[in-house]
Amino acid sequence: MSSDAPGNSNDLLLRAQSVKKHFPVEQSLIDRLLGGESEVVHAVDGVDLTLREEETVGVVGESGCGKSTLGRTLARLYEPTDGVIEIDGDDVTEAGGNRLQELRKDVQVIFQDPLSSLNPRKTVGEIVARPLEAHDIATGDQKDERVDELFREVGLDPATRDRYPHEFSGGQRQRVGIARALAVEPKLVIADEPVSALDVSVQAQIINLMKRLQQEYGLSYVFIAHDLSVVKHVSDRVAVMYLGKVVEQGPTDTIFRNPQHPYTKSLLHAIPSVESAGGRRETLLQGNPPSPIDPPSGCPFHTRCPEYIGDTCENEVPELEAVGDADGHRAACYWLDRTTEERAEQDPYPSSGLVSGTDDG
Amino acid sequence: MSESLLEVENLHTTFGTERGDVHAVDGISFRVEEGEVFGIVGESGSGKSVTALSIMGLVDAPGRVDADAIRYRGENLLDASENEMQSIRGGEIAMIFQDPMSSLNPVMTVGEQIAEVARHHGDYGESTDFLSEMKRKYVTGTATGSRSWQRAVELLDTVGIPDPEQRAQEYPHQLSGGMKQRVMIAQALAAEPSVIVADEPTTALDVTIEAQILDELLSLRDEFGVSVVLITHDLAVVRETCDRVAVMYAGELMETAPTRTLFEHPSHPYTNGLLKSIPKVNDDREWLDSIEGNVPDLIDKPAGCPFRDRCDSAFELCQKPLVSYPGEGVDHEVRCHLYNDAVEVDGDEAVAVADDATEIIEQRSDAGRPVGGESL
């Protein structure tokens, strides 16, 4: 599906094709003896994703939709069940040994909870120096200098390098996590909810820092978050996930101005805003996402869809199809084929929604 | 002057540590009216949860609660005996905690947990002595025909849990996060309280589920007329649910106002900074305006405005203890010396301070009236 890759494929950094990650569900001995069918959690169920150099793609969705699993699979922290992951045009799906070691240098991860992802028994200086040692990048004085430089780069005082993670505030710890990721000069950084554990005032600091580093180092980000306003702010393109599948993707502005998939629309309506006139949000989405162990047949979203149109939704799995005029805007929904009149009849979205211009895009 | 449902006057909660006293809550005053949703918003460590625990009388040693008064329907809770507190806690003022998984008992069915609260606070003609409770807990369980169980099922239905008879017999781990939070709300409602203190009730939830839960809280307010004290770090949640709001920073209130006023005329530099640092769906800013620096150390906190080290408008008066100044419109109070009449302000900077500034500060602090009091 190379034709879907936006722009020149030469500067394509990451390409994932129908990546799947299934986790087996543990069975009790009795179930196994009785020959019960083994079940799997369909955490990531066929995701295509591309990322160009110096680009940020945001991955959004409710908890349990598989966005973190996708991030970890792309970083090869999980072995993909199926699919192909290419980095710089090089298939790394099954890379091992030296190739994997090299991949670990190119792809770094920033985790959500900086406290549990930093070793509590090592000083932050040691934590940031560790990748330099592991990849033989620097030793001795050179290493110390590099660590000091990284500290300054992320806005930490190098004099604090002998302290332990617990002595820092949440925002500072996340800075340590960023310095560690930056140490090996990666090409791709997978940021898994990097700011959701932080306070708003600190969140803004970290977002600004990540954007500055992107410009300075030419980084590419896969930015995983549940907060749509944050994703809107940092991403060039957005992929919306539901139950292990991407249901809509495209340029950020297009997704927010002219969303096509009913799930994206419902999500956008649920964004709380400090700019709204006050009053309650429309709660278009009722209930919870279904279990990824036994996902619904057909369109995974049909059980909660406010626009649910009929048997097709229940029986056939919609594919991502190009929609609208914007480059790379694709959505997976049967509803999109309907005529404008039919849409108007079924349109459950109040026009006074939070996202202006939903219908005139 | 009508009496407020809940009034907190000059609350101080301090925790003694080896390094010194931590002033988690440092002299705050507010009131909550009947049927009102009052928001307390602040960053982590600002003392908002400790405020809630102090009101509930749940602060343990080494914590100390000092206040001029915490009045509920005119009665000072600080003078209440432990027995009286027990019937007020849950019965009159109920609390919903942030993390439902760790606040629900994992080895009791949710129906059991709600029925227990209902039994203890209401008159259901069922024995609540130690032996019968132990028997229910470890042997028989609450009889599904009993009135307290029926009440539990009814409450689960009220908070929008489908198939409540079945769900009442399930354990917390069998329910999703949003469902557990609904159970917490049902439990809080079980004793028909007049005030619900909700400490970050939706923080652990997705936006879509958050919208459902907040909606539920508001409908309960409309239906039963309970007041809600909503503690949150999320200004957007405040905007859509609260009637009035207090902004808290480092244990002190910075600004108290009706919600609309706060968002349309944010007056305190901290409130302004917070609002600017939030990414919005409709903005095209390349860089967010962040508040530089970190929250100050609350151990042996120096006098004066706790925000002054991070504030762009800081000037010499900021060393003085904070007092309230009237803001824009009714019921709006700002605790920032920029609003002192003796200070001449250009933009958001103080350009001149007249001689009587200190005098005005002293007068206002001598007045000793509660923040948000009705005399403006």
Contacts of B278 in chain A (CB under 8 A): 200, 204, 229, 274
Contacts of B281 in chain A (CB under 8 A): 228-229, 232, 256, 268, 271, 273, 354-355
Helix (H) or strand (E) holding B207: helix B207-224
Alpha-carbon gap: B160 to the closest alpha carbon of chain A (Å): 10
Distances (CA, A) of A209 to A150, A185, A216, A309, A317: 13, 16, 10, 45, 41
Phi-psi region of B10 (alpha: psi -120 to 50; beta: other; left: phi over 0): left
According to DSSP, residue B137 is labeled: I
In this complex, is the C-beta atom of B234 within 8 Å of any C-beta atom belonging to chain A?
yes
In this complex, is the C-beta atom of B142 within 8 Å of any C-beta atom belonging to chain A?
no
Does B111 fall in a domain? yes
In this complex, is the C-beta atom of B163 within 8 Å of any C-beta atom belonging to chain A?
no
Contacts of A267 in chain B (CB under 8 A): 207-208
Question: Cα–Cα distance between B294 and B45 in angstroms, integer?
Answer: 11
Question: Cα–Cα distance between B229 and B373 in angstroms, integer?
Answer: 17
Give the residue on B whose Cα is nearest the Cα of A278.
Answer: B240
CB contact under 8 A, B281 and A230: no
Question: 3-state DSSP call for residue B299?
Answer: strand
| Contacting B residues, span 22-41, partner chain A, CB-CB under 8 Å | none
CB contact under 8 A, B240 and A272: yes
Alpha-carbon gap: B258 to the closest alpha carbon of chain A (Å): 12
- How many beta carbons lie within 10 A of that of residue A312, not counting itself? 14
CB contact under 8 A, B294 and A355: no
pLDDT at residue B101 greater than cutoff 90: no
Does B206 fall in a domain? no
CB contact under 8 A, A169 and B294: yes
Strand A220-224 to A188-192 pairing: parallel
CB contact under 8 A, A272 and B291: no
> What ipTM score was computed for the predicted complex, to two decimals?
0.76
Helices (H), chain A: 29-33, 67-74, 97-106, 124-134, 140-153, 170-182, 200-217, 228-234, 252-257, 262-269, 311-315, 340-346
Does B213 fall in a domain? no
Question: Cα–Cα distance between B247 and B367 in angstroms, integer?
Answer: 22
Alpha-carbon gap: A58 to the closest alpha carbon of chain B (Å): 14
Does B130 fall in a domain? yes
How high is the pLDDT of residue B151? 92
Question: Cα–Cα distance between B36 and B243 in angstroms, integer?
Answer: 6
Question: Cα–Cα distance between B207 and A272 in angstroms, integer?
Answer: 8
In this complex, is the C-beta atom of B235 within 8 Å of any C-beta atom belonging to chain A?
yes
Does B87 fall in a domain? no
pLDDT, tens digit, for every residue of A6-62? 444 458 899 999 999 999 887 778 877 887 777 888 999 999 999 999 999 999 988
- Please give the mean pLDDT across all residues of chain B: 87
Q: What is the mean pLDDT of residues B350-359?
A: 81
Question: Cα–Cα distance between A301 and A332 in angstroms, integer?
Answer: 10
Quick one: which of A345, A242, A340, A336 has its CA closest to A296? A242
Phi-psi region of B200 (alpha: psi -120 to 50; beta: other; left: phi over 0): left
pLDDT at residue A276 greater than cutoff 80: no
Q: What is the mean pLDDT of residues A155-170?
A: 90
Amino acid at A192: D
| Residue in the block written with tokens 């001795």 | A140
| Contacting B residues, span 265-294, partner chain A, CB-CB under 8 Å | 273-275, 277-283, 285-292, 294
CB contact under 8 A, A273 and B295: no
Alpha-carbon gap: B179 to the closest alpha carbon of chain A (Å): 9
Contacts of A285 in chain B (CB under 8 A): 208, 211
Q: How many residues does the structure list for chain A?
A: 361
Question: Cα–Cα distance between B48 and B230 in angstroms, integer?
Answer: 10
In this complex, is the C-beta atom of B102 within 8 Å of any C-beta atom belonging to chain A?
no
Best residue in A173, A196, A200 to probe B by mutation, most B CBs within 10 Å? A200
- Interface A-B, measured as beta-carbon pairs within 8 A, has a size of 131
pLDDT, tens digit, for every residue of B52-79? 999 998 888 889 999 999 999 989 999 9
Helices (H), B89-146: 100-103, 110-121, 130-135
- Please give the mean pLDDT across all residues of chain A: 85
Half-sphere exposure of B193 (CA within 13 A, CB side): 29
CB contact under 8 A, A233 and B282: no
In this complex, is the C-beta atom of B218 within 8 Å of any C-beta atom belonging to chain A?
yes
How high is the pLDDT of residue A283? 65
Does B332 fall in a domain? no
Question: 3-state DSSP call for residue B301?
Answer: coil
Does B242 fall in a domain? no
Question: Cα–Cα distance between B64 and B17 in angstroms, integer?
Answer: 12
In this complex, is the C-beta atom of B208 within 8 Å of any C-beta atom belonging to chain A?
yes
Bridge partners for A49 per DSSP: A16
CB contact under 8 A, A201 and B236: no
For chain B, how are helix, strand and coil distributed in percent, rounded to 5? Answer: 35, 20, 40
How high is the pLDDT of residue A235? 94
Instruction: Choose the closest CB to A280 out of B178, B206, B215.
Output: B215
How high is the pLDDT of residue B149? 92
Give the residue on B whose Cα is nearest the Cα of A225.
Answer: B206
On whether the CB atoms of residues A328 and A249 are closer than 8 A, the answer is: yes
In this complex, is the C-beta atom of B263 within 8 Å of any C-beta atom belonging to chain A?
yes
CB contact under 8 A, A205 and B235: no
Question: Cα–Cα distance between B320 and B358 in angstroms, integer?
Answer: 8
Residue A231 has phi, psi (to 5 degrees) of: -60, -40
Question: Cα–Cα distance between A346 and A249 in angstroms, integer?
Answer: 23
Half-sphere exposure of A97 (CA within 13 A, CB side): 1
Cβ contacts of residue B185 below 8 Å, gap of 6+? B96, B159, B196, B201, B213, B216, B217, B220
How high is the pLDDT of residue A4? 43
Return the structure tokens found at B155: 């409450």
CB contact under 8 A, B43 and A355: no
Helices (H) and strands (E) in chain B, counts: 13, 15
Helices (H), B110-204: 110-121, 130-135, 147-158, 164-168, 177-189
pLDDT, tens digit, for every residue of A189-223? 999 999 888 888 888 999 999 999 999 999 999 99
pLDDT at residue B376 greater than cutoff 50: no
Quick one: which of A161, A177, A193 has its CA closest to A119? A177
DSSP letters, A67-108, are HHHHHHHHTTSS--SEEEEEETTEE-TT--HHHHHHHHHHEE
Distances (CA, A) of B287 to A211, B49, B234, B276, B304: 8, 31, 20, 11, 31
Residue A88, classified by CB atoms within 10 Å of its CB into exposed (0-12), middle (13-18) or buried (19+), is middle
Residue B348 has phi, psi (to 5 degrees) of: -120, 30
On whether the CB atoms of residues B108 and B171 are closer than 8 A, the answer is: yes
pLDDT, tens digit, for every residue of A68-118? 999 999 999 999 999 999 999 889 998 888 999 999 999 999 998 888 889
Contacts of B236 in chain A (CB under 8 A): 271-274, 276
According to DSSP, residue A23 is labeled: E
SS (H, E, C) A239-278: EEEECCEEEEEEEHHHHHHCCCCHHHHHHHHCCCCCCCCC
| Residue in the block written with tokens 């309650």 | A280
Instruction: Choose the closest CB to A200 out of B179, B206, B277.
Output: B277
Phi-psi region of B47 (alpha: psi -120 to 50; beta: other; left: phi over 0): left
Q: How many domains does chain B have?
A: 1
Q: Which of A150-154, A332-336, B112-116, B117-121 has the lowest mean pLDDT?
A: A332-336
Return the structure tokens found at B24: 């988690």
Contacts of A171 in chain B (CB under 8 A): 294
Enclosing domain of residue B121: 104-192
What are the contacts of B79-86 at 24+ separation with CB within 8 A? B85/B57
Does B200 fall in a domain? no
CB contact under 8 A, A272 and B290: no
Residue A359 has phi, psi (to 5 degrees) of: -100, -10
Cβ contacts of residue B347 below 8 Å, gap of 6+? none
| Residue in the block written with tokens 């009159």 | B92
CB contact under 8 A, A288 and B209: yes
In chain B, the percentage of residues whose pLDDT exceeds 70 is 97
Alpha-carbon gap: A226 to the closest alpha carbon of chain B (Å): 7
Half-sphere exposure of B264 (CA within 13 A, CB side): 10
| Contacting B residues, span 175-204, partner chain A, CB-CB under 8 Å | 176-179
Q: Which of the four pLDDT bands, split at 50, 70 and 90, describes residue A356?
A: very low
Best residue in A56, A167, A199 to probe B by mutation, most B CBs within 10 Å? A199
Contacts of B291 in chain A (CB under 8 A): 201, 204-205
Q: Which of A157-166, B20-29, B320-329 has the lowest mean pLDDT?
A: B320-329
In this complex, is the C-beta atom of B230 within 8 Å of any C-beta atom belonging to chain A?
no
CB contact under 8 A, A229 and B278: yes
- How many beta carbons lie within 10 A of that of residue A344, not counting itself? 10
Give the residue on B whose Cα is nearest the Cα of A230.
Answer: B279
Phi-psi region of A183 (alpha: psi -120 to 50; beta: other; left: phi over 0): alpha
According to DSSP, residue A131 is labeled: H
Q: Which of the four pLDDT bands, split at 50, 70 and 90, describes residue B367?
A: low
Best residue in B243, B244, B281, B285 to probe A by mutation, most A CBs within 10 Å? B281
Instruction: Choose the closest CB to A274 out of B210, B215, B275.
Output: B275
CB contact under 8 A, A274 and B235: yes
Q: First CA to last CA across chain B, in angstroms? A: 13
CB contact under 8 A, A200 and B207: no
